[in-house]
Structure 1
Amino acid sequence: MRINKLTLPASDVSKSVAFFRDVLKLPTAGNSIQVGWSEIRLVSAVGDAPHGVHLAFNVPYDRFDAAIEWLKERTPLQREPDSGECFVLEGHWQSKSIYFDGPDSSVLELIGRRRLIRPTGKRPFSGADLSCLSEVGLPTEDVGSVVAEAARTFGVATLGPASPGFAAIGNDEGVLIAVDTKRLWFPEKRQLPSAKGLEIWLGGVCAPGAMSDLANGWKIHAA
């Protein structure tokens, strides 16, 4: 599954564009940010912008140490008191992650996935190594219902077992993180999840369709 496009409301579109351009060194055109095959389209929020949006970006697993040093030169990393700033997951995830603050109190992540290892050469790490928007957080009062609807609508399963408060729907190339509305985002647990006004377009799923959560304000489409 791929996340081809995300519409993201912002309190200040120009400041958000500047963050993606200047901190993450991503190509921008107007209010559009290109992340490999994914596009983030920033729009002015109607009312309050969502605070607590979670987005993750895939980076090469075998260059993850370089990704850490590159990002630390640009912005502080979030930390967990007992685990530090780099988080290694085995089992179904097979990944390494670092987290950092983004515009409008968003919780952003660079993630390297072992199953996506491919030759990357020896060039210095750069924003060009962010290959896609790989995760979007979706708050919900019923994680199980979102998992079931995604399976029924798009034919998409979870990446490992779901829990009542958390489920990763998709695969290494694209994941929808269904999360309980009261579950604070890892690692610093400062932000409750929000996705008001987010609209997502998927590719690489089994069936076209659409699903949404009116209470939490997000929509998903697949052609």
Structure 2
Amino acid sequence: MLAMRLRHLLLPCLDPDLTLRFYRDVLQLPLAGNSVRIGWSTLECVQAQQPVGSVHLAFNVAPARFDAAAAWVGARAALLTDPHGQERFQLDGVWQSQSVYFAGPDGAVLELIARNALQDAPTGQGAFHGSELLCLSEIGLPSSNVAAVTSSVGHHFGVQPFAPTLEGFAALGDDHGLLIVVDQARRWFPQQRQLPWASGLRVSVDAPQPGLRLRDAQGWELLAA
């Protein structure tokens, strides 16, 4: 089975130049034109044609570098906490991960996540640097029918649930890449303030049948690369 790789994300922005500067200057990522490179993933910033909302994106980091990564991002961006003030989050079960969340442009809820299954991921030494971000690891996709999206993605793209699906929540993919499909009224963790938004997002993933396309009523598209 193909590893789930989020290859490309087209992201509408209120100010693409401002967003690109954030990824270059704050997250130390290389730019090529209007795109950001994160490992095998690219993030393409384009001018939004309508108001934008809060997207959720996560980036994988090597488990051995989580503490260094959390300190690095905490010194460079505004961390997001849960209602109790907690900044770091550990998940057990199938997730086996540690996360820290931080604010991005246009109200984005961004996340660094270290997954124990990726122990063989390349690691740096000393102070963390943005070049150690491994890939785009999660993309949040709101929908009015999470179950229908889960079924369609599984049937047409061969992407199955990573964890048991919950009411209004499904994580589709694997440790390398996940589509986080949520009910359109489910607010983003950890602050639980921001409603999910993805209108105009276009996500390209590795899939057995290139050229397939799925479009949701919330305005996002999933493409098979």
TM bin (shorter chain): over 0.9
Q: State how far apart, in whole Å, the 1-side matches of 2:34 and 2:101 are.
A: 24
Identity of aligned residues (%): 48
Tell me what 1:191 maps to: 194
- What is the correspondence of 1:98-117 to structure 2 with a 5 Å cutoff? 98-117=100-119
* Cα shift at 1:124: 2.6
Q: Which residue of 1 aligns with 2:222?
A: 220
Structure 2 counterpart of 1:132: 135
Any stretches of 5+ residues in structure 1 without a counterpart?
none
Letter in 2 for 1:57: F
Contact kept? 1:53, 1:107, Cα under 8 Å: yes
In structure 2, distance between residues paired with 1:114 and 1:43: 34
> How far apart, CA to CA, are the structure 2 residues paired with 1:51 and 1:91?
31
- 4+ residue segments displaced more than 2 Å: 121-124, 205-208
Q: Distance in 1 between matches of 2:145 and 2:172?
A: 14
For 1:111 and 1:139, locate their aligned partners in 2 and report how far apart those are by CA, in whole Å. 20
Give the counterpart letter for 1:126 in structure 2. Answer: H
Q: Unaligned regions of 5+ residues in structure 2, if any?
A: none
**Which region of structure 1 is more displaced relative to structure 2, 123-132 or 75-84?**
75-84
Alpha-carbon offset, residue 123 of structure 1: 4.1
Query: In the aligned structure 2, how far is the partner of 1:86 from the partner of 1:207?
Result: 38
- Specify the code of the residue in structure 2 equivalent to 1:134: S
Counterpart AA for 2:166:
S
| Structure 2 residue identity aligned to 1:159 | F
Question: Do residues 26 (structure 1) and 29 (structure 2) align?
Answer: yes
- TM (norm. structure 1) is 0.95
State the number of aligned residues: 220
Match of 1:58 in 2: 60
- Given the alignment, which residue of 24, 40, 43 partners 1:37? 40
Aligned CA distance change for structure 1 residues 157 and 83 (closer, same or farther; 3 Å): farther
Which digits, 9 at most, give the CA deviation of each residue in 1:89-125, with x for residues without a partner?
0101111111111111011000000001125242431
Q: Which residue of 2 aligns with 1:174?
A: 177
3-state SS, counterpart of residue 39 of structure 1: strand
Is 1:154 aligned with 2:160?
no
Question: Contact 1:155 / 1:207 at 8 angstroms: preserved in 2?
Answer: no
What is the CA-CA distance between 1:62 and the residue it aligns to?
1.1
Q: Determine if contact 1:142/1:164 at 8 Å carries over to the other structure.
A: no
> Secondary structure at the residue paired with 2:191?
coil
Work out the CA distance in 1 between the residues paired with 2:36 and 2:62: 20
Question: Structure 1 CA distance, aligned partners of 2:57 and 2:81?
Answer: 17
Q: 1:16 aligns with which of 8, 16, 19?
A: 19
